[in-house]
Amino acid sequence: REFTTVRLLDRGARGTVQLVTREGVEYAMKTLEWSEIDSEEYRTAMGEHDALTDLGGRSGTFIIKRLSFFRVEEHRAIKFYLEYCDRRLEDLFEGHRFGVIPPRSIQAAVVRFKLIATILSQLTTALAEVH
């Protein structure tokens, strides 16, 4: 089945993340091409979607960018990253408990990780249908 690209979410040095739609449902998908982008263009491209994909490159962005949803093997990758997501949240709460991370950062992170988890769950379902 074909996915239709609706808008760019994030273009960085390690790849491009797009929001795509199939039958009215939205998914985040990494394109196969890697590209560089300057910071001004990056900010424009991200727009209102920064909470969805931009977690600083070493956390949430990393989760989505490392996945290419084009092969059956990616099922295992999605499950792995969902588990990674949960571990990252645990790390964040641990950091907060010891006063390392401020409460506002925790709240923002929880919202973002929940969004990512939802998207990846939807993708698992979509992949099962496609394949």
- Number of domains composing the chain: 1
User: What mean pLDDT do residues 95-120 have?
Assistant: 59
| Token code pair at residue 94 | 């641990």
H or E element at residue 19: strand 15-22
DSSP sequence for 49-63: GHHHH-S-SSSHHHH
Residue-wise pLDDT tens digits, 47-90: 433 323 333 333 333 333 333 333 334 445 555 555 555 565 55
pLDDT for the residue numbered 113: 60
- Structural domain containing residue 66: 4-130
pTM of the complete model: 0.29
pLDDT for the residue numbered 87: 61
Is 4 or 126 the better-scoring residue by pLDDT? 126
| Burial zone of 112 (CB within 10 Å; 0-12 exposed, 13-18 middle, 19+ buried) | buried
Torsion of CA 49, 121, 118, 11, to 10 degrees: -10
| Token code pair at residue 38 | 């300057």
